[in-house]
Amino acid sequence: MVKGFDVVKNPQDVSFYAGLLLSSYAICQAITIMYWGPLSDRIGRRPTLLMGLTGDLATFVLFGLSKSYKWAIITRSLNGLFAGNSAVVKSVVAEISDDSNRPRMMALLPLMWNIGAVAGSAIGGLLADPANQYPSIFGRFDILRTYPYLLPCLVGSLTTTFGLVVGLFKLKETL
């Protein structure tokens, strides 16, 4: 992705710019993580999580529409801002569990996040630039030629959409 942007003049710089792009998410998540908890204390866990999921969904799709390095950095950073609510997820898990299942539920959180990171990276790599990788299937879709990273972002956003729907209809306020 980074190699195709206008910012890379020397092929040796691709890893540097890729690192900046990846770290922009983590930096913004680290900045906002301390604000999501107090926000959830004021307005509730459920609305805070739903707000984060909505922002995550929007910025994930917008990232797939990146045509420039600047846009990719902006959307990835915004995605990190919304990801700061991961601390709220831990609060909800603690509040909906009891002594009999809390340790197991808390242990499952990092497991699920890591499975998601590995699976998401693999799926993203398989689906990146689909019009060129799989021209017989995706070559006819102009949007995938224009936005070669949209498909993996749309597929990845399905998990966020699932979480948002479950949150809207099944998640009860725990505060």
Q: Tell me what the mean pLDDT of segment 62-84 comes to.
A: 96
Burial of 125 (0-12, 13-18, 19+ CB in 10 A): exposed
Cβ(86)–Cβ(33) under 8 Å?
yes
> Distance of CA 136 to CAs 91, 112, 139, 147, 154, Å?
47, 34, 6, 17, 20
> How far is residue 78's CA from residue 59's CA, in Å, rounded to a whole number?
6
Mean pLDDT computed over 67-89? 94
Report the pLDDT averaged over residues 28-56: 95
- Please give the pLDDT value at position 7: 87
Q: Would the pTM count as exceeding 0.75? A: yes
Kindly state the average pLDDT of the residues 71-100. Answer: 94
CATH class of 2-169: mainly alpha
Share of the chain above pLDDT 90, in %: 91
